[in-house]
Amino acid sequence: MSPIGAIKGNWRVLLLGAFLVFAVVALFIPGGIVADDGLASDSVDSGPTNLEFGLGLEGGTRIRVPVAGMTAEDIDTGAVSDDGRVDQERLDGVESTLQSELDLDQADVSVDVQDDGTVTAEVFNDNVSESEFAAALQTADVDATEDDIRDGVTQSTRDNMIRTIQTKINAAGLSGGTAYESTTVSGDHYIVVEVPNMDADELRTILSERGQVEVVAYHPENGTQTNDTVLRGGDIVDVDPPEQQGEDSYAVPVLVSDEAAPGFQQQMNDLGFTSEGVGRCGLRGDGENIDFDQEGEHYCLLTVVDGEVVDAHSMGDRGGNGLATDMREGTWVNDPTFQMGAQNQQDAQSLSVNLRAGSLRAPLDFSEEQVYSIEPGHADQFKQYSLLIGLLSVLTVSGVVYARYTDTRVALPMIVTAMAEVVILLGFAALIRMPLDLSHVAGFIAVVGTGVDDLVIIADEVMDEGDVSSERVFQSRFRKAFWVIGAAAATTVVALSPLAVLSLGDLRGFAIITILGVFIGVLITRPAYGDILRRLLTDR
Amino acid sequence: MGYFDVPEIDYTRYSNRQLAAVPLAVLAVALLVLSGAFLAYGTPVPLGMDFAGGTELTVQTTTAEGDIGTAFDDAPESVTGTGSENQYIVQFSSTDSQALSDQAEGNLEGDGDAEVVQSVSSTSASFGQNSQQTAMLGLVIAFVGMSAIAFLLFRTFVPSIAIVISAFSDLMIPLAFMRLAGIPLSLGTVAGLLMLIGYSVDSDILLNNHVLRRSGDFYESTYRAMRTGVTMTVTSMAAMLVMAVTAYIFGIDLLASIGTILFVGLAADLLNTYMLNLSLLRWYKFEGVRS
């Protein structure tokens, strides 16, 4: 046989070989097919293969939780004119009416123009009822009834929250965490957050903090101390990592936006922080809280996170180049930076994260959460067990197949081909960096099962009517067998495709692996098995 | 050939009615169990945590198995040991996973350096409700899709409907088994059921193909299809049994339930394919065509 003839005659087996080599490279050679673009810390302890593991086999926490709130869509505020101009004052007016009517924080009400030009009002508080919301809208001269109000928040709010959460978990120094949205068939939206190597309590703490940062001026007015919010988290555009400034004092250097800086400077000067109030803040903290029970007048800038006072500071002149000096002289706006205080490193760290990520637009409704959390050690146990279960299943299948045929020429290639299918699938999983979980393991075992089934069909069909005497006989029988295999594959794919598309927990991985396995089987491994069998049976 | 060979059954001894009676009777019993359970409990099969809501903790503790329940304010639904020493799976109907893990950490004896709470999994009732609808939809789509393919492949009514009926029975029998054995419906069992839709029709397609699309005697074609089909099904059943047993010992619920469901379903499939489907085919071949 000429070399070209040999290739032509065995192209199916060669193709299988090529795929196998490809899979092994993707599996075992670091950086293999795709360059390792993961985080450095990931690749250090990734074990002997390039496979990536999901939460269930690696350890970590996944929380799936809806956003608390309700929405009135496409409300008629009269704020958007036909030519697309927006009357922002009117929108702000509606927002503040809602806020005062429903007795909510500013952050819990939002009236916004959506991308399509409609106006949407959202309330992020589950204690407000639909009728109260509708009544408040009426008070704001918006014609809306209870029927216009639905549970849940807008897409743009969810997108915004997912970005914020993603930044938060990245900033908390956790690599590999992700936040994404999942939608159920009935149209409910959930935010899903997955973080490796973190337990449920920690993650819940991070997610339950709204992270609204405010700078509040605490100053005497008409004889009593009053609070005025002078800066909000959104006014701060850049944040540096926290710095330690003494034993119990930490600071987060921040840059105030050009829009907010002049106003802030003006307010500080008006309230007297840069004149009589310089250096006059007598509030002292105990490392956690601030003691407000002090005699006398105080001029303090309070760092407030989610309504809780984290630290209090005065403004100083520092011998002529302090913050108060620059503000008094009006030069601070040219370089609007200052330092926000915190009493301990943890607070400073979370302050810095909250400033960088921005605040969560709406709270999450943890009463409807779904949690999955597993210790890394336990997950590792699962990893070993599932490997063992997989091996045992393959052994069983091999045993049954051998017992059925007792002909090594038929049974051995059958087992080897079925294993090749799993190796190719694993290589593929490593290639696309699919994080493997228990459900994928079930998929792999199912693939071995269906794979061997089809090989049995081929073997029986080919050897059906006595020995295979010629190439032509083999081909005709092989084609007949393939009709059944194709039909069976089609039903499996159809049966599992809803799972691959619908979001039903962990089962997507199972469906995807099984469907992929069916395709690899029908297109690559089973034709190759046919070739191998033909050589073994006809070349005698 | 082989240590085990598929026995040749003399189908000529039995009438179509006799053949179909057995699987139909089993199906009837299954349906009776399911509808009875529906009337009595409100659901045909017991709903697991994934669908009804609840919390499952895996704890590592030296506290005796019998005393674990007392560590919690609300008594757990169940406490089961896993394959590992001092490791238990504790299930609750409460969904306050935070309080439950706090109670576990506070009241259970730690086992060396290991964390007491090894894994937490909790689903709220409303989320479970949602998953129920999704799972139902998935099953219906899968079944309808499979039926459509069956009709496309054979383009004649009787053989196609035979496949659909036996696939339906393949689903109902394991569901009834779940009710009787008290296996709750979980994501894993739903995956098993979907897999079953795909798996179980393989042998039906094989049988129909041999009988309808090949030349040759009906009984000879049937025997050939059986030889291949039974080997396939038995191989899969063996793999699933091993998976179910080992996963159960190791405490990996997902794999154990997929394995169990497939094992029972495939056993039902043997019955349905080679008695129900076969009798319909024989009737079609010998009488249906002529009429």
Same domain, B17 and B152: yes
Nearest residue on chain A to B126, judged by CA atoms?
A368
- Cβ distance B255 to A453 less than 8 Å, yes or no, reads no
Task: Decide if B226 touches A, using CB distance below 8 A.
Answer: no
Rounded distance between C-alpha atoms, residue A49 and residue A229, angstroms: 54
Q: Which of B103, B122, B141 represents a domain boundary (last residue)?
A: B122
Rounded distance between C-alpha atoms, residue A271 and residue A264, angstroms: 11
- Give the Cβ contact number of residue A38 at 10 Å: 13
Q: How many domains does chain B have?
A: 2
Q: If you average pLDDT over residues B18-27, what whole number do you get?
A: 91
Structure tokens at B18: 């006799």
Dihedral sign (CA B66, B69, B75, B76): negative
Task: Decide if B101 touches A, using CB distance below 8 A.
Answer: yes
Rounded distance between C-alpha atoms, residue A405 and residue A280, angstroms: 93
Q: If you average pLDDT over residues B69-95, what whole number do you get?
A: 83
CB < 8 Å to A483, chain B: 209, 213
CB < 8 Å to B124, chain A: 367-370
- Cβ distance A505 to B197 less than 8 Å, yes or no, reads no
- Which residues fall within 8 angstroms of residue A366, CB to CB, at 6 or more apart? A65, A204, A208
Burial A71-83 (b: 16+ CB within 10 A, else e): bbeebebebbeee
Same domain, B184 and B148: yes
Give me the pLDDT at residue B23, please: 92
Same domain, B134 and B150: yes
Task: Decide if A387 touches B, using CB distance below 8 A.
Answer: no
Same domain, B156 and B24: yes
CB < 8 Å to B195, chain A: 446, 492, 495-496, 514
Most confident of A18-32, A344-358, A455-469, B233-247: B233-247
- Cβ distance A445 to B243 less than 8 Å, yes or no, reads yes
- Give the Cβ contact number of residue A165 at 10 Å: 23
Task: Report if residue B2 sits inside a domain.
Answer: no
pLDDT at B290 over 70: no
Among B189, B224, B246, the strongest candidate for a mutation testing the A interface, having the largest count of A CBs within 10 A, is B246
Q: If you average pLDDT over residues B167-178, what whole number do you get?
A: 93
What residues are paired with A61 via a beta bridge? A195, A373
Give me the pLDDT at residue B151, please: 92
Task: Report if residue B1 sits inside a domain.
Answer: no
pLDDT at A30 over 80: no
Chain length of chain B? 291
Nearest residue on chain A to B125, judged by CA atoms?
A368
pLDDT at A316 over 60: yes
Same domain, B88 and B207: no
CATH number at residue B190: 1.20.1640.10
Give me the pLDDT at residue B291, please: 45
Task: Decide if B119 touches A, using CB distance below 8 A.
Answer: yes
Sort B76 into a burial class: Cβ within 10 Å, 0-12 / 13-18 / 19+. Answer: buried
Give me the pLDDT at residue B7, please: 77
Give me the pLDDT at residue A42, please: 43
Please give the DSSP secondary-structure letter assigned to residue A248: T
Task: Report if residue B178 sits inside a domain.
Answer: yes
pLDDT at A408 over 90: no
What residues are paired with A251 via a beta bridge? A243, A341
- In the predicted model, what is the mean pLDDT of chain A? 82
Q: Which of B122, B138, B173 represents a domain boundary (last residue)?
A: B122
Angle between helices A11-28 and A526-538 (to 10 degrees): 130
Q: Which of B97, B122, B147 represents a domain boundary (last residue)?
A: B122
At residue B88, the 3 state secondary structure works out as strand
Give me the pLDDT at residue A350, please: 81
Over pLDDT 90: what percentage of chain A? 0
- Cβ distance A493 to B198 less than 8 Å, yes or no, reads yes
pLDDT at A232 over 60: yes
Contact A150, A71 (CB under 8 A): yes
Give me the pLDDT at residue B27, please: 95
Give me the pLDDT at residue A93, please: 85
Q: Which of A385, A457, A504 sits opposite B131 (nearest CB)?
A: A504
Give me the pLDDT at residue A307, please: 81
pLDDT at A242 over 80: yes
Higher pLDDT, A35 or A532: A532
Task: Report if residue B220 sits inside a domain.
Answer: yes
Task: Report if residue B5 sits inside a domain.
Answer: no
* Angle ∠(A475,A476,A481) on CA atoms, nearest 5: 95
CB < 8 Å to B255, chain A: 386, 389, 438, 441-442, 445
Task: Decide if B146 touches A, using CB distance below 8 A.
Answer: yes
Same domain, B139 and B66: no
Task: Report if residue B4 sits inside a domain.
Answer: no
- Cβ distance A510 to B83 less than 8 Å, yes or no, reads no
- In the predicted model, what is the mean pLDDT of chain B? 86
Q: If you average pLDDT over residues A190-206, what whole number do you get?
A: 86
Range of lowest pLDDT (A43-47, A473-477, B102-106) = A43-47
Same domain, B265 and B139: yes
For residue B221, the distance in angstroms to the closest alpha carbon of chain A comes to 11
| φ and ψ of B59, to 5 deg | -115, 150
Q: If you average pLDDT over residues B192-217, what whole number do you get?
A: 86
Tell me which residues of chain A, numbers 394 to 413, contact chain B at a CB-CB cutoff of 8 Å: 394, 396-397, 399-401, 403-407
Among A499, A508, A514, A515, the strongest candidate for a mutation testing the B interface, having the largest count of B CBs within 10 A, is A499
Among A207, A389, A409, the strongest candidate for a mutation testing the B interface, having the largest count of B CBs within 10 A, is A389
Tell me which residues of chain B, numbers 2 to 21, contact chain A at a CB-CB cutoff of 8 Å: 2-5
Rounded distance between C-alpha atoms, residue A495 and residue A537, angstroms: 35
CB < 8 Å to A450, chain B: 198-199, 202, 236
Task: Report if residue B208 sits inside a domain.
Answer: yes
Comparing C-alpha atoms, which of A492, A531, A501, A383 is closest to residue B236? A492
Query: Is the pTM above the cut of 0.90?
Result: no
pLDDT at A273 over 60: yes
Same domain, B117 and B256: no
Same domain, B28 and B64: no
Range of lowest pLDDT (A184-188, A419-423, A478-482, B283-287) = A184-188
Most confident of A176-190, A355-369, A445-459, B16-30: B16-30
Q: If you average pLDDT over residues A427-451, what whole number do you get?
A: 83
Same domain, B86 and B139: no
Same domain, B66 and B44: no
pLDDT at B35 over 90: yes
CB < 8 Å to A496, chain B: 142, 194-195, 198
CB < 8 Å to A204, chain B: 98
For residue B7, the distance in angstroms to the closest alpha carbon of chain A comes to 12
Give me the pLDDT at residue A539, please: 56
- Give the Cβ contact number of residue A380 at 10 Å: 15
Q: If you average pLDDT over residues B20-34, what whole number do you get?
A: 93
pLDDT in tens, A58-111: 888 999 888 888 888 888 777 777 777 778 888 888 888 888 888 887 778 888
- Give the Cβ contact number of residue A366 at 10 Å: 18
Please give the DSSP secondary-structure letter assigned to residue A463: T
Q: Where are the alpha helices (DSSP H) in B74-186?
A: 97-107, 125-154, 157-181
pLDDT in tens, A465-481: 666 667 777 778 888 88
Task: Decide if A208 touches B, using CB distance below 8 A.
Answer: no
pLDDT at A337 over 90: no
Q: How confident is the model at residue A279 (pLDDT cuts 50, 70, 90)?
A: confident
Rounded distance between C-alpha atoms, residue B145 and residue A496, angstroms: 10
Higher pLDDT, A9 or B181: B181
Q: Which of A392, A404, A452 sits opposite B246 (nearest CB)?
A: A392
At residue A395, the 3 state secondary structure works out as helix
Most confident of A127-131, A305-309, A477-481, B28-32: B28-32
- Cβ distance A495 to B146 less than 8 Å, yes or no, reads yes
Task: Report if residue B261 sits inside a domain.
Answer: yes
Q: Which of A491, A504, A511 sits opposite B149 (nearest CB)?
A: A491
CB < 8 Å to B58, chain A: 374, 378
pLDDT at A35 over 60: no
Give me the pLDDT at residue B174, please: 94
- Laid out side by side, the sheet with A213-221 consists of A224-232, A213-221, A300-305, A308-313
Same domain, B96 and B140: no
Higher pLDDT, B194 or B82: B194
- Cβ distance A495 to B142 less than 8 Å, yes or no, reads yes
Structure tokens at B256: 């154990």
Give me the pLDDT at residue A40, please: 38
Domain that holds residue B63: 54-122
Q: Are strands A435-436 and A52-53 parallel, antiparallel or unpaired?
A: parallel
